[in-house]
């Protein structure tokens, strides 16, 4: 909402307040001022007359002038093409402060110049606010006879002495998109009475009419139309032009200007049709038209079913609530017209305006909602102004379709309820003072007050709490005390998943890995290349771009993209992770993604480096699971048969919790990585929701053995396909309870080992919880175990 | 007697000049059972019964003196050896250290964690909800029915006519209200990702995070809201921070307030960050609208409550001085490395 302070001052005296004081008060009362625009700025300005204008001796376009400003004659060099003898011009004297800086006495190409002849643009006037006929578009402003040499009130006389506040209006106050309601609001804010023009019932004039008005759409519940058989087209008065310009509205002629002006005043978009274009004397609102239609901007718009159209004799004559039609618009010779003041459904207007890309003032107002009596007020005001400014005469009676949706009502509030909600101690006077400022009528009954709600506040004031907000808003609120809720004690704690996330993040951080947050919305490539997707991806109806069309079904691509970004920016040894939800149709789960590239540890001081490979990743995953209470016994590791497109078929695996896939991990497939211009990357994607549903093992103190253990090593030569896990399982099976620990400490293939075979060295620790094992006992078990391994795996002892 | 004095002098001199090997020889020479001092005992036989104890005492003193001298010398020599060894082990302590690699938590994670910790300390729980939401929880229950002008304020990503990517964590609040309607009071915060149809630039992102809070109980007031938010701001930014309320509008609260905090950069004096006002807009809040309570099945005559919501990105950007919101989603590790705590 653009609020012209000059216009505002026609409703109340604000001459005692500075712009900043006004803005501060508005902000306190809930109106944010986004921008303060001074229509023009300039000090030390005076009207001068060019009494001599010669070409500059050293320039092909500059002029050397003598300018009479009454008190003296100044030499001024001027570059404007329209500079000539006899002109009345705006002179900025030496010392003048203009938006472009201070004017100083200077010498221009060898000629002294004591000031500047100004264009309005140089005084800060926005080019769009200049009248079309203004000379300032291409040169200095040429002043007319109203101006006398020596005058200093130039900007005032031109109407550019205004300040415009760009006020943001909350969705609950669409009434404030009108100057009248805003003036009332400003009256409340500044605590002074706003005096609005009287125009009640002004449209109750006119003879009987044959005009027919219909709506065939539910989206037009109320429509007023009035035929005016005589109007005189001419220029609008200067004050109206100034107010319109200040609001960024182009001035055309008195008729068009009145329709725009009444919209600014009342908030109701009006439309005037040339009566000649409607010989049928009939208007029907329809929403079933399909086809192109040329609006008054001369552009063809594709109209679809559902769009509200104003029609006559079945043919469209305007896009309802958005823009009038080219075939029915006011022309230079219009002498009679039809006034339209209608209510159209805000959602439908918004849809049509968005689709057509036609964001007009009218569309914006309908979209945000109108106060219920808006049509009637606008009709009254339009008739009044047409009579005053367009010699309107020979009216026909107003035709009405439907009824305004408003019945007077009241809201009752008590001081007790007010104070118990706010936590303050308002008394009745403080409360009713606010109602007085808002110009609301009310009755006080003991500790309660009953407020009458006028139509223009009915969009916002509905329940007692709404009245409370008005009181809070318009009284000083900075003295509100700070307390804490008085209520039964509650225990605040993190959920299991929330705790898990923290443990995972801390653990991975300790390995030098970075927590990342990536975008949820991804391209279709990400969906095609997803890891373990759980169904069809969720697709947006209207995405901002194809790159952000789907809700991601896995985290891998986001992390790989982030990895690529980092590598491209000269970061090395990048290990990243992300914890986030992923989605599919009717499906949600939380996942952890880990990507590792280069070395996990690379310490030049200690000459240590640990390359990020399958085993490093596996170890970290098992560490996380163990910290979360899931030891290897609860989880099984199996061959990766789920996805060998993205993963290296021989360097990847899947972790299961029971039958549920918990995690797929390993080296990514070199062919896949090549498509991303990457090489040698390990990745894991773990489904945290699986862990959230499972019960972690209870923490139990370890029982320490009081008896010594015995350690033995075995080296075997066996087929390279035999898995370490199988060897260890066999050892545990054969050794039973006495095997306390068994591990592989070396695997060797190469020289001295036949192709297809490998040498595996194992360490086994024996221990009996109840006694010291004798050497013979150990020998016996160890021998049995060794023989078992040799036969079972067709191995040879080395 | 003279012999004793001589022997003592001779021994002490030899000890003082000895190295560690020689010292062991001297110990044997003087103090062993067949050593020189023990040998003196042979003279005892020639002495009278009266002189015997006296002589014995003198020999004993001599023995102690020599023994002490040897121990002291030994200690001294060991110290010298140790000092020499330590000196030989000298290193340059200014050389680069072994610094274990540490990753960092994302600044958004850090802010969320901090918020969680502040409110858990005050007895709040942390509630979550789905990001692919229904318009029921995202809008309708939040007093924003179909066609409400406020739906215009948030251009939303729809996935079908009734499902959308939640545009506000208010959706979580609405789920909590419904679930806990019969288990009042409610004290929760609701952090999470939200999505809006905004083009990404330095200050806008189509994806961002919010953290909302909700308290429902008997006789909860705006003053309680102010006290709670003041605590939060002081924990997050500065112990001396103040807040002020400006009237505002949200469909799900009445009255509604924008909340400003004392500028954490200048402490309220006025600076470029706060555009000279001394205040910084930090969150939105208000008293839960009676319609919202009633829709969730809570008696709005008996219960009141407050709600507030802050942008986690905004807090992070203010707190850490991040100028461009996109830096939070680029995840350049040179940027992330800055957030060690």
What is the C-alpha to C-alpha distance for residues B311 and B282, in angstroms, rounded to an integer? 8
Region A217-230: mean pLDDT is 94
The reply to whether A765 falls in a domain is yes
Q: Indicate yes or no: CB of B102 within 8 angstroms of CB of A508.
A: no
Contacts of B215 in chain A (CB under 8 A): 485, 487
CATH of the domain at A64: 2.40.50.140
| From A346, A423, A604, residue closest to B224, measured CB to CB | A423
- The residue in chain B having the minimum alpha-carbon distance to the alpha carbon of residue A513 is B103
Query: Between B98, B199, B249, which is nearest A170 by CB?
Result: B249
B-interface mutation test, from A371, A478, A517, most B Cβ less than 10 A away: A517
Cα separation, A238 vs A241, whole angstroms:
5
The most confident of A91-105, A650-664, B65-79, by mean pLDDT: A650-664
From the list B99, B207, B227, the residue facing A520 with the nearest CB is B207
The CATH number of the domain holding residue A440 is: 3.30.56.10
pLDDT of residue A250: 87
Answer yes or no: do B249 and A517 touch at CB < 8 A.
no
Q: Answer whether residue A491 is part of any domain.
A: no
Quick one: average pLDDT of A76-103?
Answer: 90
Whether residue A575 sits in one domain with residue A510: yes
Report residue A714: phi and psi, to 5°. Answer: -135, 140
Distance from the A319 Cα atom to the nearest Cα atom in chain B, whole angstroms: 21
Other beta carbons within 10 Å of A736 = 9
Do β-strands B125-126 and B186-195 pair in parallel, antiparallel, or remain unpaired?
Answer: parallel
**Mutation site, B117, B221, B295, B340, interface A, largest A CB count within 10 A:** B221
CA atoms within 13 A on the CB side of A277: 22
User: How do A116-117 and A2-4 pair as beta strands?
Assistant: unpaired
Residue A534 lies in a domain: yes
Residue B30 pLDDT = 86
Same domain (yes/no): A56, A79 = yes
Q: Number of folded domains in chain A?
A: 6
Residue A205 lies in a domain: no
Residue A571 C-alpha, separation from nearest chain B C-alpha, in angstroms: 7
Does residue B9 carry a pLDDT above 90?
no
**A671 in the same domain as A549:** yes
Does residue A487 belong to any structural domain of this protein?
A: no
Q: Which residues of A touch B160 (CB under 8 A)?
A: 541
Per-residue model confidence (pLDDT) at position B4: 79
Do residues A467 and A512 both lie within one domain?
Answer: no
Task: State the burial class of residue A232 (Cβ atoms within 10 Å of its Cβ: 0-12, 13-18, 19+).
Answer: middle
Average pLDDT over residues B19-38: 86
| Chain B residues closer than 8 Å to A566 by CB | 331-333
Shared-domain flag, residues A181 and A227: no
Q: What angle do CA A526, A531, A533 make, to 5 degrees?
A: 85
Looking at the complex, report in whole angstroms how far the Cα of residue B75 sits from the nearest Cα belonging to chain A: 37
d(CA B71, CA B20): 11
Residue B40 pLDDT: 79
Minimal C-alpha gap between B15 and chain A (Å):
47
Apex CA A141: angle with CA A137 and CA A143, to 5°?
Answer: 140
CB distance B246 to B204 below 8 Å: no
Query: Who's near A354: CB < 8 A, 6+ residues apart?
Result: none
Q: State whether B108 and A575 contact (CB < 8 Å).
A: no
Closest listed residue to residue A34, CA positions, set A19, A23, A43, A46: A23
> Which of A381, A402, A423 is the last residue in one of the domains?
A402
pLDDT digit string, tens, across residues A155-187 = 888 888 899 999 999 988 999 999 999 999 999
A457 and A376 within one domain: no
pLDDT at A130 > cutoff 90: no
What mean pLDDT is predicted for residues A473-491? 90
Cβ of A492 and B193 within 8 Å? no
pLDDT over 60 at A413, yes or no: yes
What pLDDT score does B154 carry? 52
- Report the pLDDT value the prediction gives residue B150, as an integer from 0 to 100: 62
At residue A156, the pLDDT reads 86
Per-residue pLDDT at B47? 81
* pLDDT greater than 90 at residue B284: yes
Tally of CB atoms within 10 A around B245: 23
For residue A93, being part of any structural domain is answered with yes
Handedness of CA A604, A606, A607, A613 (dihedral sign): negative
- Residue ending a domain, choose from A349, A380, A402: A402
Pairing of strands A111-113, A106-108: antiparallel
Q: Which helix (H) or strand (E) holds A135?
A: none
Smallest Cβ–Cβ distance between A423 and the set B218, B223, B289 belongs to B223
Query: Whole-angstrom Cα distance, residue A139 to residue A59?
Result: 17
CA distance B215 to B186: 5
pLDDT exceeds 60 at position B285: yes
Same domain, A519 and A557: yes
- Within a domain: A122: yes
Same domain, A308 and A390: yes
> Are both A685 and A748 inside the same structural domain?
no
The answer for residues whose C-beta is within 8 angstroms of residue A770's C-beta and 6 or more apart is A707
Q: Which residues of B touch A520 (CB under 8 A)?
A: 131, 165, 193, 195, 207
CB A756 within 8 A of CB A719: yes
- Picking from A368, A483, A541, the nearest residue to B224 by CB comes out as A483
Q: Which positions in chain B touch A491 (Cβ < 8 Å)? A: 123
Quote the pLDDT of residue B1. Answer: 53
A chain contacts of residue B122, beta-carbon cutoff 8 Å:
484, 492
Same-domain check for residues A520 and A661? yes
Measure the CA–CA gap between A342 and A214, rounded to whole angstroms.
11
Please say whether the beta carbons of A189 and A26 come within 8 A: yes
- Chain B nearest-CA residue for A602: B101
Count of alpha carbons within 13 Å of B124, Cβ hemisphere only? Answer: 28
pLDDT at B41 over 90: no
| Tokens representing residue A679 in the block | 């090489």
* Predicted confidence (pLDDT) per residue in A728-785, tens digit: 999 988 888 889 899 999 999 988 888 889 999 999 999 988 889 898 989 998 998 8
Q: Do residues B282 and B318 make contact, with C-beta atoms less than 8 angstroms apart?
A: yes
Q: Is A484 part of any domain?
A: no
Question: Which of B289, B290, B333 is nearest residue A514 as measured by Cβ atoms?
Answer: B333
Chain centroid to CA A511: 38
Band of residue B299 on the pLDDT scale cut at 50, 70, 90: very high
Distance from C-alpha of A302 to C-alpha of A325, rounded to nearest angstrom: 13
**H/E/C letters for each residue in chain B?**
CHHHHHHHHHHHHHHHHCCHHHHHHHHHHHHCCCCHHHHHHHHHHHCCCCHHHHHHHHHHHHHHHHHHHHHHHHHHHHHHHHHHHHHHCCCCCCCCCCCCCCCCCCHHHHHHHHHHHHHHHCCCEECCCCCEEEHHHHCHHHCCCCCCHHHHCCCCCEEECCEEECCCCHHHHHHHHHHHCCCCCEEEEEEEEEECCCCCCCCCCCEEEEEEEEEEECCCCHHHHHHHHHHHHHHHCCCCCCEEEEEEEECCEEEEEEEEEECCCCCCCCCCCCCCCCEEEEEEEEEECHHHHHHCCCCCCCCEEEEEEEEHHHHHHHHHCCCCCCHHHHCCHHHHCCCCC
Q: How confident is the model at residue B166 (pLDDT cuts 50, 70, 90)?
A: very high
Contact B206 A516 (CB under 8 A): no
Q: Over chain A, what is the mean pLDDT?
A: 92
Q: What's the DSSP call for residue A310?
A: E
Is residue A600 located within the same domain as residue A683?
A: yes
**Between vectors from CA A609 to CA A605 and to CA A611, what angle results, nearest 5°?**
160
The CA distance from A107 to A57, in Å, is 13
Residue written as tokens 């004081």?
A: A21
Chain A with chain B: Cβ pairs closer than 8 A: 249
Contact A500, A688 (CB under 8 A): yes
Residues spanned by the domain of A619 = 496-693
Q: C-alpha angle with apex A576: A571 to A581, nearest 5 degrees?
A: 145
Residue A92: CA count within 13 A, CB half-sphere: 26
Instruction: Tell me the average pLDDT across B14-19.
Output: 88
**CA–CA separation, A225 and A211 (whole Å):** 8
Measured between CA atoms, how close is B112 to chain A, in angstroms?
11
CA distance A242 to A137: 18
What pLDDT band is residue B147 in, cutting at 50, 70 and 90? confident
Write the CATH number for A680: 3.30.930.10
Residue B152 scores a pLDDT above 60: no
From the list A707, A724, A701, A700, the residue with the least C-alpha distance to A768 is: A707
Residue A393: name the closest of A198, A201, A226 by CA.
A226
Residue percentage of chain B with pLDDT more than 90: 67
The per-residue pLDDT for B149 is: 63
Confidence of residue A382 (pLDDT cuts 50, 70, 90): very high
Number of neighbours of residue A212 by Cβ within 10 angstroms: 14
Q: Residue A492: its chain B contacts at CB < 8 A? A: 119-126, 187
* The pLDDT value given to residue A691: 96
Beta strands at A309-312 and A282-286: parallel, antiparallel or unpaired: antiparallel
Report strand pairing: A337-343 vs A222-230.
antiparallel
Smallest Cα distance from A605 to chain B, Å: 6
| Predicted local distance difference test score (pLDDT) of residue A477 | 87
Residues in Cβ contact with A481 at an 8 Å cutoff, skipping those fewer than 6 apart: A423, B223, B226, B227
Q: Quick check: B223 and A482 CB within 8 A?
A: yes
Q: Which three-class secondary structure state does DSSP give residue A405?
A: coil
Decide if pLDDT at A573 tops 60.
yes
Half-sphere exposure of A71 (CA within 13 A, CB side): 7
Distance from CA of A365 to the nearest CA of B (A): 11
- CA dist., res. A686 & res. A663, Å (int): 4
For B328, which residue in chain A has the nearest alpha carbon? A517
User: What letter would DSSP give residue A774?
Assistant: P
Identify whether B255 is preceded by a cis peptide bond (ω within 30 of 0): yes
Confidence band, pLDDT 50/70/90 cuts, at residue A326: confident
- If asked whether residues A389 and A417 sit together in one domain, one would say no
DSSP A398: P
Highest mean pLDDT among A43-57, A461-475, A700-714: A461-475
The rounded distance, in Å, linking the Cα atoms of A139 and A289 is 49
Short-list A335, A406, A396, A346, CA closest to A376? A406
What's residue B2's pLDDT?
55
Can you tell me which residue has the tokens 């203009």? A98
Using a 10 angstrom Cβ sphere, with 0-12 exposed, 13-18 middle and 19 or more buried, the burial of residue B38 is: middle
What pLDDT, on a 0 to 100 scale, did the predictor assign at position A676?
94
For the ranges A418-427, A498-507, B44-53, the lowest mean pLDDT is seen at B44-53
């Amino acid at each position: 909402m653009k609020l012209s302070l000059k216009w505002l001052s026609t409703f109340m005296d604000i001459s005692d307040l500075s712009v900043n004081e006004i803005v501060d008060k508005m902000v306190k009362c809930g109106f944010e001022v986004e921008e303060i625009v001074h229509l023009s700025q300039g000090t030390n300005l005076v009207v001068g007359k060019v009494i001599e204008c010669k070409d500059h001796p050293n320039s092909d376009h500059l002029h050397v002038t003598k300018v009479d400003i009454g008190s003296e004659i100044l030499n001024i060099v001027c570059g404007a093409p329209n500079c000539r003898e006899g002109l009345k011009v705006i002179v900025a004297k030496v010392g003048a402060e203009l938006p472009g800086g201070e004017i100083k006495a200077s010498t221009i190409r060898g000629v002294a110049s004591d000031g500047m002849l100004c264009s309005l643009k140089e005084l800060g006037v926005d080019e769009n606010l200049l009248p079309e006929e203004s000379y300032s578009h291409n040169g200095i402003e040429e002043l007319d006879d109203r101006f006398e040499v020596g005058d200093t009130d130039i900007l005032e006389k031109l109407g550019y002495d205004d300040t415009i506040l760009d006020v943001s209006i909350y969705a609950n106050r669409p009434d404030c998109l009108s100057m009248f309601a805003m003036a009332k609001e400003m009256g409340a804010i500044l605590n002074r009475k706003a005096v609005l023009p009287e125009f009640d019932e002004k449209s109750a004039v006119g003879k009987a009419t044959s005009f027919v008005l219909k709506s065939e759409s539910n989206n037009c519940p109320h429509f007023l139309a009035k035929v005016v058989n005589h109007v005189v087209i001419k220029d609008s008065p200067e004050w109206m032009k100034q107010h319109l310009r200040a609001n960024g509205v182009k001035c055309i002629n008195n008729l068009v200007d009145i329709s725009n002006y009444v919209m600014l005043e009342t908030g109701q978009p009006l439309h005037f049709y040339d009566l000649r274009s409607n010989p049928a004397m009939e208007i029907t609102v329809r929403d079933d038209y399909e086809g192109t239609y040329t609006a008054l901007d001369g552009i063809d718009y594709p109209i679809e079913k559902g769009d509200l159209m104003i029609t006559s004799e079945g043919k469209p004559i305007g896009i309802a609530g958005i823009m009038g039609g080219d075939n029915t618009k006011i022309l230079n010779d219009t002498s009679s017209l039809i006034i339209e003041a209608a209510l159209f459904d805000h959602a439908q207007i918004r849809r049509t305006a968005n689709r057509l890309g036609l964001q007009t003032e009218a569309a914006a107002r309908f979209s945000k909602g109108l106060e219920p009596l808006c049509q009637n007020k606008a009709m009254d005001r339009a008739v009044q102004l047409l009579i005053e400014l367009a010699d309107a005469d020979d009216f026909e009676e107003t035709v009405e379709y439907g009824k305004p949706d408003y019945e007077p009502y009241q809201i009752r509030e008590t001081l007790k309820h007010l104070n118990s909600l706010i936590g303050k101690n308002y008394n009745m006077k403080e409360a009713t003072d606010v109602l007085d400022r808002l110009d609301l009528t009310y009755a006080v009954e003991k500790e309660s007050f009953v407020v009458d709600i006028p139509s223009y506040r009915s969009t916002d004031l509905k329940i007692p709490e709404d009245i409370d907000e008005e009181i809070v808003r318009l009284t000083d609120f900075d003295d509100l005390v700070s307390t804490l809720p008085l209520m039964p004690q509650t225990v605040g704690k993190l959920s299991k998943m929330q705790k898990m996330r923290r443990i995972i993040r801390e653990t991975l951080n300790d390995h030098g890995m970075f927590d990342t947050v990536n975008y949820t919305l991804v391209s279709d490539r990400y969906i095609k290349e997803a890891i373990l997707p759980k169904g069809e991806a969720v697709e947006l109806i209207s995405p901002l771009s194809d790159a952000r069309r789907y809700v991601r079904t896995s985290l891998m691509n986001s992390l790989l993209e982030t990895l690529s970004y980092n590598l491209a920016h000269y970061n090395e040894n990048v290990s990243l992770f992300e914890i986030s939800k992923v989605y599919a149709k009717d499906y949600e789960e939380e996942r952890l993604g880990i990507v590792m590239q280069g070395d996990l540890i690379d310490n030049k001081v200690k000459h240590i480096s640990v390359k990020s490979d399958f085993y490093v990743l596996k170890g970290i995953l098992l560490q996380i699971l163990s910290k979360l209470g899931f030891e290897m016994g609860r989880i099984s590791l199996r061959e990766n048969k789920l996805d060998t497109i993205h993963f290296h078929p021989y360097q990847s695996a899947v972790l299961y919790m029971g039958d549920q896939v918990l995690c797929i991990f390993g080296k990514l497939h070199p062919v896949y990585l090549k498509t991303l211009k990457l090489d040698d990357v390990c990745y894991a994607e773990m489904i945290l929701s699986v862990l959230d549903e499972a019960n972690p093992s209870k923490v139990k103190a370890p029982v320490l053995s009081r008896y010594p253990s015995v350690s033995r090593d075995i080296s075997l030569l066996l087929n390279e396909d035999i898995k370490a896990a199988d060897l260890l399982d066999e050892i545990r099976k054969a050794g039973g309870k006495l095997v306390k620990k068994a591990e592989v400490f070396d695997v060797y293939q190469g020289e001295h080992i036949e192709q297809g075979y490998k040498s595996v060295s194992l360490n086994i620790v024996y221990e009996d919880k109840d006694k010291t094992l004798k050497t013979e006992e150990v020998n016996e078990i160890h021998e049995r175990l060794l023989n078992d391994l040799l036969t079972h795996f067709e191995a040879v002892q080395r | 007697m003279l012999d004793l004095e001589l022997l003592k002098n001779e021994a002490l001199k030899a000890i003082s000049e000895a190295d560690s090997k020689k010292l062991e020889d001297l110990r044997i020479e003087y103090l062993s059972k067949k050593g020189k001092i023990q040998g003196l005992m042979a003279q005892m036989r020639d002495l009278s019964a009266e002189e015997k104890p006296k002589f014995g005492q003198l020999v004993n003193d001599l023995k102690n003196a020599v023994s002490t001298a040897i121990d002291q010398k030994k200690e001294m020599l060991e110290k010298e050896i140790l000092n020499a060894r330590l000196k030989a082990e000298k290193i340059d302590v200014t050389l680069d250290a072994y610094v274990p690699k540490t990753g960092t938590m994302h600044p958004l994670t850090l802010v969320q964690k901090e918020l969680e910790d502040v409110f858990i300390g005050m007895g709040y729980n942390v509630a979550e909800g789905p990001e692919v939401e229904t318009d029921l929880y995202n809008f309708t229950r939040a007093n924003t029915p179909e066609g409400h002008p406020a739906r215009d304020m948030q251009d939303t990503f729809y996935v079908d006519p009734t499902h959308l990517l939640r545009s506000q964590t208010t959706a979580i609040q609405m789920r909590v209200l419904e679930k806990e309607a019969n288990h009042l009071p409610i004290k929760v915060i609701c952090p999470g990702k939200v999505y809006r149809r905004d083009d990404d630039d330095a200050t806008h992102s189509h994806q961002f995070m919010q953290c909302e809070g909700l308290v429902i109980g008997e006789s909860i007031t705006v003053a309680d809201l102010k006290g709670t938010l003041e605590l939060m701001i002081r924990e997050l930014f500065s112990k001396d921070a103040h807040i002020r309320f400006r009237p505002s509008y949200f469909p799900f609260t009445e009255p509604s307030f924008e909340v400003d905090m004392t500028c954490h950069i200048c402490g309220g004096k006025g600076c470029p960050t706060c555009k000279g006002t001394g205040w910084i807009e930090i969150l939105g809040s208000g008293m839960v609208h009676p319609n919202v309570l009633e829709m969730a099945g809570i008696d709005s005559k008996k219960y009141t409550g407050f709600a507030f919501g802050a942008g986690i990105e905004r807090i992070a950007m203010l707190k850490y001085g991040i100028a461009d919101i996109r830096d939070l989603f680029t995840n350049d590790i040179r940027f992330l490395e800055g957030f060690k705590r």
